[in-house]
Amino acid sequence: MRNNFEMTERDLRQRGGLKWRQYPTDVLPAFVADMDFAVAPAVHDALVSIVDGQQYGYPARTGAGTPDHAVEVFADRMTRLFGWSIMPQDVVVCSDLLQAISATLLSFSTRGDAVIVQQPCYPPFRDAITSNGREFVAIEAKNLETGVVFDLEAVKRSLSPNTRMLFVCNPHNPTGRVFTKAELEGLANIALERDLIIVSDEVHAELILSAKTHIPMATLGPEIARRTVTLCSGAKTFNLAGLKCAFVHFGSAALQETFLTCFPKRVITPGHPFGVQATIAAFLHGQSWLDEVTAHLRQMRDVLTARISEEMPLVRFHPPEGTYMAWLDCSKLQLPTSAFEHFLSKGRVALSAGETFVPGGEAFVRLNFATSAHILNAIIDRMVVASRQ
Ligand SMILES: Cc1ncc(COP(=O)(O)O)c(C=O)c1O
């Protein structure tokens, strides 16, 4: 049976956006982190009411529907979902995580400083670090039989007198790992010993597909929280990336002061009214939609897992514990070009190129499985045929 939120290929092409407009119409896209789903009805209603009411002037500063309201709702949600009790005054609303990643980087480091990042990594981490004259220090993933892990000894070896920051992405894009408490504590303790600022990107926190629970870095203890800036939003969970509303939580007043000295409030764009009101509606009234979407994502992850093991057994892959991304190691296929190029030219499927997540990662691709069973099966059919060419 089809879920209410699923959309047909025709509707998706009409809806437009980067995912469905980037490539010619004979290509099926499975790249950028958008879901092929209609938004929660409560989100739709909130946006319609802005349009119907022509609320296009300066938005209200206090009360319902404001960024302050969004922060209160966010704080309540984090407490309820993850036992992470946060105070609204410790949160700054900005437009999206890309803005927050660059702004935190610039606030807590200077040119020449080194920043540690888990690799493969979400490409904008690398772009932000290198384009702002910081040194990108990669901690390479170990692709074990049991899953992807990041080696703490490698983190320790990578430390230098210039190391200032540690970027963590949990749940991890692109591998889909949801880190254990022990793994997070291992990283956090290094930050503590070496006085590093931790930036923890937790935008996929609510998209957990395994029995694990998400552990916010800032819940690991007051000493860790004091050096942690957490980035989050409803954009991935509720498919709102174009609307613009994100949260930056500071684990201490000193961190927030440093940030606001670099970026006074009028410099950081606060959430757009559409994004703010959509996020409030999603957080308050979107849970049944999210439960159905999460159940569907688990099914799609399982379809992908079963079909890869039966029909493309040479593709190495760990079923993701979170996110809606699968990180596929195609090295054993021994393709003549990069895996991205091969599946695009031979299969007309647009995946995310592995080399954008890790230099030398041409044999990898990231597949976004947040789509209908019909479209996902068509994507896999095409990949199976292409993998044999
Ligand atoms: C780990 C991670 N961080 C940040 C972002 C970007 O978020 P935003 O659209 O809010 O800039 C994404 C988008 O896919 C992501 O996967």
For the Cβ of 100 lying below 6 angstroms from any atom of ligand 1, the answer is no
Arithmetic mean of pLDDT, 154-168: 96
Which atom of ligand 1 is nearest the CA belonging to 235?
Answer: 10
For the Cβ of 235 lying below 6 angstroms from any atom of ligand 1, the answer is yes
pLDDT exceeds cutoff 60 at 1: no
**What's the CATH class of domain 50-285?**
alpha beta
Ligand 1 centre and the CA of 98: distance in Å? 6
Arithmetic mean of pLDDT, 134-156: 89
pLDDT exceeds cutoff 90 at 142: no
Atom 14 (ligand 1): residue with closest C-alpha? Answer: 33
Ligand 1 centre and the CA of 183: distance in Å? 22
Q: Which CATH number fits domain 9-38+287-387: 3.30.410.40, 3.40.50.2000, 3.30.565.10, 3.90.1150.10?
A: 3.90.1150.10
| Beta-strand runs (E) in the chain | 28-29, 91-94, 114-119, 135-144, 147-150, 163-169, 197-201, 228-233, 246-250, 325-329, 349-350, 352-353, 364-368
Arithmetic mean of pLDDT, 352-371: 98
From 31, 122, 238, 247, mutation site for ligand 1 pocket: most ligand atoms within 8 A of C-beta: 122
pLDDT exceeds cutoff 80 at 334: yes
Kindly report, residue by residue over 245-264, the tens digit of the pLDDT. 999 999 999 999 999 999 99
Percent above pLDDT 90 for the chain: 94
The domains of the chain are located at: 9-38+287-387, 50-285
Model pTM greater than 0.95?
Answer: yes
For the Cβ of 329 lying below 6 angstroms from any atom of ligand 1, the answer is no
Kindly report, residue by residue over 209-233, the tens digit of the pLDDT. 999 999 999 999 999 999 999 999 9
Please provide the distance, in angstroms rounded to a whole number, between the alpha carbons at the two ends of the chain.
34
For the Cβ of 139 lying below 6 angstroms from any atom of ligand 1, the answer is no
CA triple 345-350-351, angle to 5 deg: 120
Kindly report, residue by residue over 172-190, the tens digit of the pLDDT. 999 999 999 999 999 999 9
Could you tell me which of 238, 213, 242 has the C-alpha nearest to residue 289?
Answer: 238
For the Cβ of 246 lying below 6 angstroms from any atom of ligand 1, the answer is yes
d(CA 171, CA 293) in angstroms, rounded, equals 17
Arithmetic mean of pLDDT, 37-59: 96
